[in-house]
Amino acid sequence: MTFNKLLRQFAGSVAAVCVATGALAQAGYPTKPVRIIVPYSPGGPADIYARFIGDRLEKSLRQAFVIENRPGAGAIIGTDAVAKSAPDGYTLLAMSNTHTVNESLISKKPYSLMRDLAPISPINYSDLLLVVNPSVPAKNLKELIALAKSKPGVLNYASSGPGTPYHMAGELFKAMAGIDVVHVPHKGSAEARTSVLAGNVQMMFDAITTMAQLSRAGKVRAIATSGNTRSSIMPEVPTVSEAGVPGYESVIWLGLMAPAATPKPIIEKLNAEIQRITNLPDVKEIWAKQGAVPMRMKQAEFGKFIEQDIQKWAKVVKFSGAKVD
C-alpha cells in the first residue's frame, strides 16, 4: 500500500472519529450544569431574559443552567471570561447589541467578537422608551428638543455604560436632533434608572420591557419609543421618528454566544432548543405583554445578523461622534 493511500485512509479515519465525537457530544449534552455569564448587572433585559431562557432550557434539557452576572467595562469583563473559557458548551455568553457596538466604539479589547466567540441563537428584541423625570417641563419630544437647544450642555441622559443600547440611542438622538445633552454612564441599567427616578439625571432611553410599568405608575414621563412603529404595549406613545426626528430607530436585541471552538453539534442543539422555546405560544404571549418580540434565526443566520449589526453601528459611531467616556 502506498504512503499516499495510507495517508488518505488515516485522514478518513480521523474524520470519522470527529463526526462520531460530534454526534456523541450532541446526543449527550449537557451532562453537567451550564453557566450563562451575563456581562451586565442584575435587573436589566439581558439578565431577565437570560434567566427566562435558562429556566426553560433547564426544564427541557434536564440539567441546571446557572446565571452568573459579571458586569464591568461595558460588558468586556464578562465577555472576555467566556472567550477564554473551555469551548465545551458549558460556558455561554448572554449578549446584546452592546457587543456589536463595542467592535467599533472600543478598539482595545482583549477579544474580537467574531473571532473568539461563536453565535448560538438570538433571543428577542424590544423597543427603547425615552423617558424624563416628571420635574422636566417638556411634555413631548418637540418640547424636549427645544428645551435642550435653549440650554446646551445642561440636560443629562443616563445609560448603563459606554456602548450599551441606551448610550448609543442617546448619542444617535443627540446627533439627529442637533442637541447637546451630557452622557452620564452608570454601572448598570438599574442604577441608571434609579438616577432618573430620583431626578439626579433628567432622562434616558431604557428598555420598554422594564420602563413601561414605571411610566404607567407616573414615576417617569414617557416621551417617545425608539422603533420604526409604535409599541404594542404603549401605542399611545409616538415614535421618535414620527414625533420630531424623522428616520430615527434604535432597539435592543439579545442573544447567546459560546467560545469559538465549541463543537458545532452542541451549538446547533442549543440553537434548535432556544428557537423551539421562543416559538412556544405561552412564551410569545408572555413576551408580547412585556413588549419583547422573539427573534427567529438558525445559527448561520444569526452569525450574518451579528456581522451586519457590527457594520451598522460602526457607521452610527462615526456619524454620531460617540466616544467612550
| CATH at residue 228 | 3.40.190.10
Same domain membership, residue 120 and residue 259: yes
Domain annotation covers residue 1: no
Final residue of a structural domain among 243, 277, 309? 243
Same domain membership, residue 111 and residue 260: yes
Final residue of a structural domain among 223, 243, 263? 243
**Cα distance between residue 168 and residue 101, in whole Å:** 8
Same domain membership, residue 259 and residue 232: no
**Cα distance between residue 314 and residue 310, in whole Å:** 6
Q: For the chain, how many structural domains are there in total? A: 2
Same domain membership, residue 285 and residue 141: no
**How many CB atoms are closer than 10 A to CB 311?**
12
pLDDT at 17: 47
**Cα distance between residue 311 and residue 92, in whole Å:** 24
pLDDT at 15: 47
> Which value, to the nearest 10 degrees, does the dihedral of the CA atoms of residues 225, 228, 232, 238 take?
40
Angle at 188 between CA 187 and CA 192, to 5 degrees: 95
pTM of the entire structure? 0.85
pLDDT in tens, the chain (325 residues): 554 554 456 555 544 444 444 454 556 999 999 999 999 989 889 999 999 999 999 999 999 999 999 998 889 999 999 999 999 999 999 999 999 999 999 989 999 999 999 999 999 999 999 999 999 999 999 999 999 999 999 999 999 888 899 999 999 999 999 999 999 999 888 999 999 999 999 999 999 998 999 999 999 999 999 999 999 999 999 999 999 999 999 999 999 999 999 999 999 999 999 999 999 999 999 999 999 999 999 999 999 999 999 999 999 899 888 877 5
**Cα distance between residue 121 and residue 295, in whole Å:** 9
Cα→Cα distances 6→1, 12, 125, 263, Å: 7, 10, 53, 28
Same domain membership, residue 119 and residue 182: no
Contact 314, 322 (CB under 8 A): no
Of 111, 107, 54, the closest CA to residue 79 belongs to 111
CATH number for the domain including 12?
Answer: 3.40.190.150
Same domain membership, residue 139 and residue 239: yes
pLDDT at 316: 87
Contact 193, 204 (CB under 8 A): yes
pLDDT at 16: 47
Contacts of 78 (CB under 8 A, 6+ apart): 37, 38, 39, 40, 69, 70, 71, 72, 93
Final residue of a structural domain among 179, 210, 243? 243
Domain with 137 in it? 127-243
Domain annotation covers residue 35: yes
pLDDT at 325: 55
pLDDT at 321: 82
Same domain membership, residue 236 and residue 134: yes
Same domain membership, residue 184 and residue 104: no
Same domain membership, residue 94 and residue 117: yes
**Cα distance between residue 225 and residue 233, in whole Å:** 11
Cell for 30?
449537557
